[in-house]
Amino acid sequence: MPQFETRRPVKHTPEQMFDLIADVEKYPEFLPLCEGLTVRSRKERDGKQLLLADMTVGYKAIRETFTTQVLLNKAERIIDVKYIDGPFKYLDNRWRFEETGEGGCSVNFFIDYEFKSRILGALMGSMFDRAFRMFSEAFEKRADATYATA
Q: What's the confidence (pLDDT) of residue 1?
A: 62
Rounded Cα distance between 48 and 8, Å, is 25
Other CB atoms within 10 Å distance of the CB of residue 127: 16
Domains of the chain: 3-146 (3.30.530.20)
Residue 150 has pLDDT above 50, yes or no: no
Q: What is the pLDDT of residues 34-50, one digit of tens each?
A: 999 999 999 998 899 99
Q: What is the pLDDT of residues 131-143, one digit of tens each?
A: 777 788 899 899 9
Beta carbons of 26 and 39 less than 8 angstroms apart: no
Q: What is the pLDDT of residues 63-122, one digit of tens each?
A: 889 999 999 999 999 999 999 999 999 999 999 999 997 889 999 999 898 889 888 777
pTM for the complete prediction? 0.89
User: Burial of 119 by CB count in 10 Å (0-12 exposed, 13-18 middle, 19+ buried)?
Assistant: exposed
Cβ neighbours for 115, distance < 8 A, ≥ 6 positions apart: 87, 88, 89, 121, 124, 125
Higher-scoring residue by pLDDT: 149, 5: 5
Q: Which of 97, 130, 72, 94 is nearest to 9 (CA)?
A: 97
DSSP character at residue 13: -
